[in-house]
Amino acid sequence: MTAASQTAIDPVVIEGYHAHVYYDAATTRAVAAAVREGIAAGGFDVRLGSWHDGPVGPHSVGMYQVVFPVAEFPRLVPWLALNRQGLSVLVHPLTGDDYADHAIFAAWLGPSLPLRLEMLQKGRYSTQP
């Protein structure tokens, strides 16, 4: 989409969010575990995903996923920003366009990491290469 042709996207299309907490299995897995324990103890409305100690899908390093509803965004994302303990966290909406969700609509807490975006299918919100 070019700036001239882009129209506003109504946030009502967001069905929820994912946060991906990245870590290195050899050096920062314990830190990631502490962040995960903090999320679990924080009373957040989340579903904690499985541990992946290596690349999976578009994620080029180890991570676990945190799935949460739109209403939890203003509580969880600030908590992650302040308590990520130096880890990188990718937060993205769920719009039905996996490529745009990870490449265009995503926000990073901490340094961004490379993603394997070629693994994701483009949908209605994705830009053309």
With 0-12 / 13-18 / 19 or more C-beta atoms within 10 angstroms meaning exposed / middle / buried, residue 49 is middle
Q: What's the pLDDT tens digit per position in 57-105?
A: 999 999 999 999 999 999 999 999 999 999 999 999 999 999 999 999 9
For range 48-56, the mean pLDDT: 97
Q: What is the pLDDT of residue 1?
A: 47
Q: Per-residue confidence at 114, pLDDT binned at 50, 70, 90?
A: very high
* Helices 73-83 + 29-41 axis angle, to 10: 150
CA distance 129 to 126: 9
Alpha helices in the chain (DSSP H): 29-41, 73-83, 98-103
DSSP one-letter code for 106: -
* Residue 2 predicted with pLDDT over 60: no
CATH architecture of the domain with residue range 14-119:
2-Layer Sandwich (3.30)
Whole-model pTM: value is 0.91
CA 29 to chain centre: 18
